[in-house]
Amino acid sequence: MRPPSALTGLIALAVVGPAVLWTPTNRAVVHERKVVAGLAVVFGAEPEPALTDEMQFLRWRISSVADSAAYTDLQDATATVTRDGQPYGPFTVRPVRRDPGLYQTQHIFTAVGEYQSVLKFRKGQDPAVHSVDFTFRIGDRASLELPPRRPGK
């Protein structure tokens, strides 16, 4: 019996591992995937790492679980962002042009910490409202600045 090849390991990881979100710059980023109402929802922030005082997009890639096709009939989609029990929103979730199945909101986060996003939507003409939540972290932009800014400047 032959030991598994690297390709076999990558295929196994792709089948059982976390989902991949393809960004508009064609970079693959690994994110958490959840299933709701027959749809696979992959969540992530762009650009990464998600930092304070930078324009951030919260993005949800939505596809059919049955055939992996991009889902383009999200209705009444809104997102609420919560930090330390304080909710913000709801924000209107919009589809990304020229990228079927990708939806987003746009924000500038001013505080470091752990946040939760809750996406609520209807699936086509179905009157039922579905929701899915994800936890994400916003880091300190100053930790990446070189040279560091002096206080008061």
Confidence (pLDDT) at 143: 87
Q: Is the pLDDT of residue 85 over 80?
A: yes
Please report the pLDDT score of residue 10 as a whole number: 37
Residue 137 maps to a domain: yes
CA–CA gap between residue 121 and residue 98 (Å, rounded): 21
User: What is the reported pTM?
Assistant: 0.77
Assign 134 to helix, strand or coil.
strand
Residue 104: pLDDT over 50: yes
Considering only 13-27, 81-95, 100-114, 120-134, which range has the smallest mean pLDDT? 13-27
Residue 89 is part of a domain; what is its CATH number? Answer: 2.60.40.10
User: What average pLDDT does the segment 96-120 reach?
Assistant: 97
Our measurement of the distance from residue 57's CA atom to the centroid of its chain's CA atoms, rounded to an integer in Å, reads: 8
What stretch of H or E contains 68?
none
Residue 66 maps to a domain: yes
Q: Does residue 46 carry a pLDDT above 70?
A: yes
Confidence at residue 153, expressed as pLDDT on a 0 to 100 scale: 57
pLDDT (tens digit, 9 = 90+) per residue, 114-152?
A: 999 999 999 999 999 999 999 999 999 988 888 877 766
Residue 11 within any structural domain of the chain: no
In a domain, 31, yes or no: yes
Query: Within a domain: residue 115?
Result: yes
Q: Which two tokens stand for residue 62?
A: 């939505």
**What is residue 139's DSSP assignment?**
B
Residue 2 falls within a domain, yes or no?
Answer: no
Distance CA 32, CA 30 (A): 7
Domain count, the chain: 1
In a domain, 1, yes or no: no
The whole domain housing 102 covers 17-142
Q: Does 70 reside within a domain?
A: yes
